[in-house]
Amino acid sequence: MMKKAKLLILLITLVTFASCDSDDAIVDDVFEFIAFQKESVSVNENDGSITPLPIVIDLKGYAPEQDITINLSVTENNAVEGVDYNLSTKTLVIQKGNFVSDTLFVGTIDNISGSLVERSIDISIESTSNPNLNIGLGLNSPTHGVIKTIIVDDECSETIAVFNSATILNETPWGNYTVTGSLAGNTLSLEGNLIAYGPFPNAKLDIVLTPIAEGATKGIASFEDYNAGTDNDGYVYQLRQVGLGAYDVCSGTVEIEYDVYYESGGWAFWYTITNTFRIP
């Protein structure tokens, strides 16, 4: 009986050791992720040109025992690098022992052009120096592996077509008057009280609107010496520009100054008038 008891104890011991060896062979999967902190951000064009937008990547897992290099890629949506935005780098590093990468700065380039479409860039985590890291949060449908950066215009999206209006206010030093505007190409034709003079309510003037740069919302307003018509008293008038005029689509204004001449045995100077033609 004693021998049988010792044999039974030996068998139990062997089974126990075998069981422990089997448990040791099972290794739990440990998932580590790197991801952007947000899926989308917006930066004002003017703000981003002064203070670039900071973006970092988080590590969800154990503190790394060596530096992790992260390579980024960019997909442009109606935005061009060097024209609409700049990136400080396309490679980030999570230093040994840290959980947050160094910083990527997204700067914008302020311009005077309004965009009719959304301008943005998608910054993606392309690869890392640690192939065992999961990119994005979650295994089945990972998120935060891409961050969308939207560039918000500080200009309006209107064009000079705003001046094609039946109602334009002519603001002068001697009062405000309603005139009409019609646009053909970049020439604005105005008709109404253009010289703040009651007997001449239907003066005419063609002003050329020339943008500072292609697509700009601001520009120069100009005209050559222009025969404005005849007033109710039978006098013929001519308008001659003084200095440079300007227009701003976003504020809906054309600012221009001109001398008023009338014909009396030749052109005679009468006075100078400053005008702000404004969309109400």
Note the pLDDT of residue 248: 95
Domains of the chain: 33-152 (2.60.40.2030), 160-278 (2.40.128)
For residue 30, the model assigns a pLDDT of 59
pLDDT on residue 116: 73
pLDDT of residue 38: 95
Return the pLDDT at 21.
46
pLDDT tens per residue across span 10-41:
444 434 444 444 444 444 455 799 999 999 99
- What local confidence, expressed as pLDDT, does residue 31 receive? 75
What amino acid is encoded at 121 in this protein? I
Q: Which two tokens stand for residue 2?
A: 């004693």
**In Å, what is the CA distance from 236 to each residue of 44, 55, 199, 232, 239?**
51, 66, 12, 10, 10
- Sorted by sequence, the CB contacts under 8 Å of residue 227 that are 6+ apart come out as 236, 237, 238
- What pLDDT score was predicted for residue 19? 44
Q: Which backbone phi and psi does 22 adopt, to 5 degrees?
A: -65, -40
Q: Dihedral (C-alpha) 221, 223, 227, 230: value to the nearest 10 degrees?
A: 0
Full-model pTM: 0.64
Instruction: Pull the structure tokens for residue 76.
Output: 């442009």
Residues of the chain scoring pLDDT < 50? 1-28
Residue-level pLDDT at 9: 43
